[in-house]
Amino acid sequence: MSVEVGRPTVLLTESAVAKLKEMLAEQDDPNLCFRVFIQPGGCDGFSYGMTFDSPEADDEVIERGGVRLLVDRTSARLLRGSEVDYVNSVTATGFAIRNPNAVATCGCGHSFKTADEAGHADPCGEEAEAGE
């Protein structure tokens, strides 16, 4: 497990920290952290994931305002320079990731591809059709 000394891979905005503190306070385990990760799939090749988790050996641990954010080594390549924000507007409420590495994103904002890696794209609606 590494603790970032210089500029962290991912930045948390103040509104993200406030919401995460609120959400983590509702959990039974005070040692939980917030994990942001990338997985193959989605309309554009990669999709974002978020969960509460415990640190793993190869995680970067980023601390801000009493919140610990975990990023695994593989995801760090695709998330470097990103910002996690919590937005609450008329059109959207939830966490948003602003990723400078994404050269194309799906309309939902949860899927992307980079200039160097296309990932594994799944056509929109494929999961819904498979379940029918």
Is the confidence at residue 125, as pLDDT, over 70? no
CB burial of 13-40 (b: ≥16 within 10 Å; e: otherwise) equals: beebbebbeeebeeeeeeebbbbbbbee
Residue of higher predicted confidence among 129 and 79: 79
pLDDT at position 130 over 50? no
pLDDT in the model for residue 132:
42
pLDDT tens digits, one per residue of 67-118? 999 999 989 988 999 999 999 988 889 998 888 887 666 665 565 556 566 5
Domains delineated in the chain: 2-116 (2.60.300.12)
Q: Is 116 helix (H, G, I), strand (E, B) or coil?
A: coil
Tell me if 82 sits within 8 A of 101, measured CB to CB. yes
pTM (2 decimals)? 0.76
pLDDT tens digits along 4-54: 445 678 999 999 999 999 999 999 898 899 999 988 876 667 888 999 999
pLDDT value at residue 107: 63
What are the beta bridge partners of residue 48?
Answer: 38
